[in-house]
């Protein structure tokens, strides 16, 4: 990823209006900023959220609150708790996430 054409700035995430996305179960609430080709998001998943698709997009993802479970199509499963992160490149390993209790994430992709 090349970060370019992004002047210094501050984002107050509380001022960004969230967009709602339905999962297979539960809801995701995205607060999104686009900086040239880099998308940055603060995402909150409701309790009981399960993604409705296998994602092939690359991400750098940091868990801020709650607990997030991510499974890969090959069957491996990972759990993020506050202060832990994962990273995956575009088209590398399809993944989907779920949470029993809810989670808050900071995502760059």
Tokens of 45: 């998943």
- Contact by Cβ (8 Å): 80, 86: yes
Instruction: Tell me the whole-structure pTM to 2 decimals.
Output: 0.92
Residue 14 burial by Cβ neighbours in a 10 Å radius (0-12, 13-18, 19+):
exposed
User: How sure is the predictor about 3, in pLDDT bands with cuts at 50, 70 and 90?
Assistant: confident
pLDDT 10s digits, 8-20: 999 999 999 999 9
pLDDT 10s digits, 41-80: 999 999 999 999 999 999 999 999 999 999 999 999 999 9
Distance CA 15, CA 7 (A): 19
Distance of CA 71 to the CA centre of its chain: 14
End-to-end CA distance of the chain: 9
pLDDT reported for residue 2: 77
The residues near 52 (Cβ < 8 Å, ≥ 6 apart) are 22, 23, 24
Q: Where are the domains of the chain?
A: 18-108
φ/ψ (deg, to 5) at 45 = -105, 135
Please give the CATH topology (third level) of the domain spanning 18-108: Jelly Rolls (2.60.120)
- Contact by Cβ (8 Å): 68, 77: no
φ/ψ (deg, to 5) at 5 = 55, 35
């Amino acid at each position: 990823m090349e970060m370019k054409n992004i002047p210094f700035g501050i984002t107050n995430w509380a001022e960004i209006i969230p967009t709602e996305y339905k999962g297979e179960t539960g809801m995701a609430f995205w607060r999104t900023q686009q900086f040239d080709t880099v998308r940055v998001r603060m995402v909150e998943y409701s309790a009981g959220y399960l993604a409705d698709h296998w994602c092939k997009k690359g991400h750098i993802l940091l868990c801020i609150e709650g607990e997030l479970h991510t499974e890969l199509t090959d069957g491996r499963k990972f759990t993020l708790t506050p202060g832990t992160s994962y990273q995956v490149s575009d088209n590398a390993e399809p993944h989907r996430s779920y949470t029993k209790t809810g989670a808050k994430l900071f995502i760059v992709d």
